[in-house]
Amino acid sequence: MRKYLLSTSAIAGVSLMSSLALADVSISGSAEWDYAQADSNVAANDGTTMGSTNEINIIFTNKTDSGLTISYMNQIHTSKAGVDDNAVTVSGGFGKIVMGTTNGAADAYKMDALAMTAEETAGKLVGLSGTTANIQTSTAISLDGNGEKISYHIPAMGGLTAGVSLEQGTISGDDEKTHFGLQYAMDVDGTAITLGYASSNQETASAIADDNDETSMGVKVVTNGISMMVTGGTKTGVGEDISTNAAGVSYTLANGLVLGAATVKSEDDKDTGEEYSATHYEAAYTIASGLSAVLTVSDFDYKKGTVGNAGKDDINGTSTSLTIKTSF
């Protein structure tokens, strides 16, 4: 009897190992090191900084007998000592369902012209003394971050792709979020054109308070090594009625050097006179497989407006950054 139990245990163990071995495992990683210098009219913001962003991506993928593809993704930000994305995806002829802590449909289909520059964060107001974080610095949708959510994406229908997400809020706050996005891609005489729209809505508990809403829309055109994008976005909520427009272009030279430029302007009609504008210039070059360097120069200008920003400063300046990027 004991020999039988040991035999069946061994068989079960081998069977379990065999089933686990059926899963494909993909491990990749990236690391970025950045050196930046800022010069502005507010001395507290001037000087040089260095920083790094590192992440490891682990993806398990398995295919069922019924034809479903099941994958689990875990993205670890080692520089932040935490997990970034952590989600399960089930896909098949019906489309795909994504469940977990990750970005949703609005982020997947948003249009943002600053994507024409790889390191457009230079020159943003984040971390600058004397400014407000309420103004938008791009046409991206900030409400759709790495929250706990479930998303559904339809199967591609010709050039149409689309998805919707529901993100949990706090029970007492009654602040659930919904995200929606779509893109339509077409080819016109060798020119690739993509149209996109995305939106996010966050409920508020108060009956008299405005919900938080964001939209992003735009068009991207790619032809003969030139990529161009024009986008617009809005953000409304308590004390906010912001409209943002952006445009960007990038060109790949024969030697692999990529030149890019993007400009953005944002205005808040509720904070009268509050404005942000920036222009980014960039050169990116692949030194070797998995190793590249990006040089970015940004000019930015922020005006605090006349409502709701007491104690803030008007600020303008230039920032220059060199980023070394590696991928594995």
Q: What pLDDT shows up at residue 326?
A: 95
Q: What pLDDT shows up at residue 166?
A: 95
Closest to 87 (Cα-Cα) out of 99, 97, 95: 99
> Please, which residues have CB within 8 angstroms of residue 234's CB and are 6 or more apart in sequence?
213, 214, 215, 242, 243, 244
Name the CA dihedral angle for 127, 128, 130, 131, rounded to a multiple of 10 degrees.
-80
In a domain, residue 83? The reply is: no
- The total domain count for the chain is 1
Q: What pLDDT shows up at residue 147?
A: 87
In a domain, residue 312? The reply is: yes
pLDDT in tens for each of the 328 residues of the chain? 444 333 444 444 444 444 444 679 999 999 999 998 888 887 777 888 888 889 999 999 999 999 999 999 999 887 666 777 899 999 999 999 999 999 999 999 999 999 998 775 544 444 444 554 567 888 888 888 888 999 999 999 999 999 999 998 776 666 889 999 999 999 999 999 999 999 999 987 665 567 889 999 999 999 999 999 999 999 998 778 899 999 999 999 989 999 999 999 999 888 677 888 999 999 999 999 999 999 999 998 888 777 656 666 788 888 899 999 999 9
Q: Which domain holds residue 202?
A: 26-53+103-327
Cα angle for residues 172, 174, 179 (degrees, 5° grid)? 145
In a domain, residue 73? The reply is: no
Q: What pLDDT shows up at residue 313?
A: 75
Torsion angles phi and psi, residue 15, rounded to 5: -60, -40
In a domain, residue 79? The reply is: no
Give yes or no for a contact between 106 and 180, defined as CB atoms under 8 angstroms apart.
yes
CATH, residue 158: 2.40.160.10
Q: What pLDDT shows up at residue 77?
A: 82
In a domain, residue 208? The reply is: yes
Radius of gyration, alpha carbons of the chain = 23
Residue type, 272: T
In a domain, residue 87? The reply is: no
How far is the C-alpha of 47 from the C-alpha of 187, rounded, in Å?
47
In a domain, residue 9? The reply is: no
Residues paired with 278 in a beta bridge:
264, 300
In the chain, which ranges are continuous DSSP H helix?
A: 2-21, 105-109
In a domain, residue 59? The reply is: no
Closest to 293 (Cα-Cα) out of 99, 49, 83, 35: 35
The tokens for 112 are 């943002």
Q: What pLDDT shows up at residue 14?
A: 45
Q: What pLDDT shows up at residue 173?
A: 61
